[in-house]
Structure 1
């Protein structure tokens, strides 16, 4: 595919293939690790909607500019400013961002045409929401994924309530509570990626997609994508990193086998281990918001049987309530604004959080859910 000038937040191209065309999307703000803004969310939604109805576009390929990141998340500092400017809410920018981002995520999850996501480098927050929603999710030797929202008093959103609940055993909840970092092998194990392909094969993958004589039938085009990706995944097997989640699955199951959420938090934090991955996971929760740990646990429990549309409706309710609460702004201040890494959390322990306070995050903050029309 032709070289693209990275002068816009997102570059869109319709690239002719042997038959039909490929829609190429490049998130292109390298300076912010391709983090999503509201403008970018709206641009993605508009283009996805247009291509969905364009018989000339057979498939979509989405990537991030540069080698560092596919997408490091949403623009959290913009969300922080919105929350600070309108304490207690409504926080107009932040709430619009969440609602439109989740709608775009839902579009990805339900898109009829194949979407190949090249999840190279850092994939976090909003970037993970984009990748997880695509139908053909490729990770590489440099993929680094984390959901560290507990450290800023948020929660793994953008569909996290869906894909973490579909992870093996208790691994999804453990990752949500601790913010533990994972790699390509882990992403495939927990179900948020489909194939490992070495990054050196990217251009060959693109060339293979362009060599296809695409159909107007989406089902046949999904098969063509698999046909292209499969041999590169087979050639890349020896380069795949060793996973962390699967080898620790039994330990995770023991840690999450508590009498209640407070017991689970205590068990994770009380670990005495020399294992570097478990140690970092323990410290992530230990330094995070106890209030956030409670709403993370409850959100996963309340959505465990939810359909996809209901998941996003429940996520926008929780996100809206969180953005209006001071715990979030304090978390972002400490980690990203002042960077003192010393947040003054409202509650030193999870047991000190009043039940009524926690319940309030799960009550509708408006008369009608902004995503009610998803289904």
Structure 2
């Protein structure tokens, strides 16, 4: 059964609009390696086709755009080869996922992503780098990797520090969910459009005049729909509302102090209360990784960020917290993970080890060169 459907629709003056639809509703369109490969191949072909004017990426349901990567299958592959490092399945998945995400960030044609419903982890990797990102009243974004012993990857080390103030650091540590207003405030979304307008947006893109600047043409269409709705009348941004509190809690240059400050929150805001609980229950190793990645990514190029994240992801898969976190949250669903017992010093050593290259030739060494079809 196909989990990714692709089509091309006619547009004026001999142009076409390409449409890619994630179609794995039972898993909330969680990304498999096959889906990643199909989408990357389609994007390469469409970018090279002069008649393709625009690409529209969405899912087949309103409930979710993409709930992340298929971490259950990844855990199974790791447990099947516990001594293999780097794990072959993990290296294939993450290297090809990050290659796809980088392609989206650097795509030369208008790429529109409809981010309605749940957008988590790998789904945010597909959305964050697109040139035209739509959020709706149903959008719920999160990077809850701290709850599964991972870290905010798929370029999170790049886009989280670029959010206002230290909100990106707060989100990395707490996995706090974002709504559409949050997405616009933090820079993860560009347009707020009502969920029921999706097909109308696609039709409008297919009727647009693409003979001039494609990015401007896409922007004209999307702004027309966005102008008809007042997001402030529907939703309030939690990040904006609690921005001062977030800044205060993350002011220290010491991770233990920041963790303590978030955990000490005694206010009555449910969003901040939930964030504090998630951090307290999360993997200390993941918190330390998220912190260190943002420090190291500060002066790196986008390609170097993805290269760094790949090495870290493979080491992270070999650390016990990842398999245990997936078990507790997604398989047994007991929400009682037994994190690797370790001192602060032990965790610091494990985190430092994650940045050592597990290969001689990096699988993503060509990211900042012209990428050919994979």
TM-score (norm 2): 0.95
Q: How does 1:58-207 map to 2 (within 5 A)?
A: 58-88=53-83, 89-207=85-203
Query: Structure 2 matches for 1:329-348, cutoff 5 A?
Result: 329-347=323-341
Corresponding position: 1:10 with 2:4: yes
Deviations 1:231-262 (A, max 9, x none): 21110115541110011111001000124111
Which one is further off, 70-79 or 356-365?
356-365
Go from structure 1 to structure 2 and tell me whether the alpha carbon gap of 1:82 and 1:309 turns closer, same or farther (over 3 Å shift).
same
Inter-CA distance 8–214: structure 2 relative to 1 (3 Å threshold): same
Q: How far apart are the structure 2 equivalents of 1:69 and 1:357?
A: 35
SS in 1 for 2:352: helix
SS in 2 for 1:13: strand
Larger mean CA deviation between 112-121 and 229-238 belongs to 229-238
Q: What does residue 205 of structure 2 align with?
A: 209
TM-align CA RMSD: 1.3
Structure 1 residues 267, 151: CA separation in 2 closer, same or farther (over 3 Å shift)? same
Query: 1:161-199 deviations in whole A, cap 9, x for unaligned?
Result: 111011011000100100001100101111111111111
Contact between 1:184 and 1:240, CA under 8 Å: does it hold in 2?
no
Match of 2:31 in 1: 36
1:338 is displaced (CA, Å) by 1.5
Within the alignment, does 1:255 sit opposite 2:244 as a pair?
no
**Structure 1 gap ranges (5+):** 1-6
CA distance in 2, matches of 1:213, 1:291: 51
Equivalent in the alignment of 1:285: 279
Q: Is the 8 A contact 2:75 2:323 kept in 1?
A: yes
Question: Is residue 239 of structure 2 the alignment partner of residue 245 of structure 1?
Answer: yes
The match for 2:42 among 43, 47, 61 is 47
Aligned to 2:348: 355
Unaligned runs of 5+ in 2: 369-374
Alpha carbons of 1:203 and 1:47: their partners in 2 closer, same or farther (altered >3 Å)?
same
- Once residues 96 and 206 of structure 2 are traced to their aligned partners in structure 1, the CA distance between those partners, rounded to angstroms, is 31
Q: Retained in 1: the 8 A contact 2:57–2:111? A: yes
In terms of mean alpha carbon deviation, does 327-336 or 139-148 score higher? 327-336
Query: What secondary structure is seen at the aligned counterpart in 2 of 1:245?
Result: helix
Contact kept in structure 2, 1:290 and 1:347, CA below 8 Å: no
Alpha-carbon contact 2:30-2:70 (below 8 Å) kept: yes
Counterpart residue number, 1:3: none
Aligned 8 A contact 1:78 1:94 in 2: no
Matched, 1:235 2:235: no
Instruction: Report Cα offsets for 1:115-156 as digits up to 9, x if no partner.
Output: 010101000011100011210000000000011000111011
Secondary structure of 1:257's counterpart equals coil
Is this contact kept in 2: 1:148–1:178, CA < 8 A?
Answer: yes
Aligned match for 1:276, one of 256, 270, 273: 270
2 CA distance for matches of 1:275 and 1:43? 43
SS in 2 for 1:365: coil
1:304 matches 2:298: yes
- 1:224 is aligned to 217
How much has 1:358 moved relative to structure 2? 2.1
Distance 2:345 2:54 in 1: 51
Count residues in correspondence.
Answer: 365
Deviation larger for 97-106 or 236-245: 236-245
**Comparing 251-260 with 102-111, which one deviates more in the overlay?**
251-260
Is the 1:73–1:123 Cα contact (8 Å) retained in structure 2? yes
Shift of residue 273, structure 1, vs aligned partner: 2.3
- Quote the Cα distance in structure 2 between the aligned partners of 1:354 and 1:167: 27
CA distance change for structure 1 residues 161 and 354 in 2, over 3 Å: closer, same or farther? Answer: closer
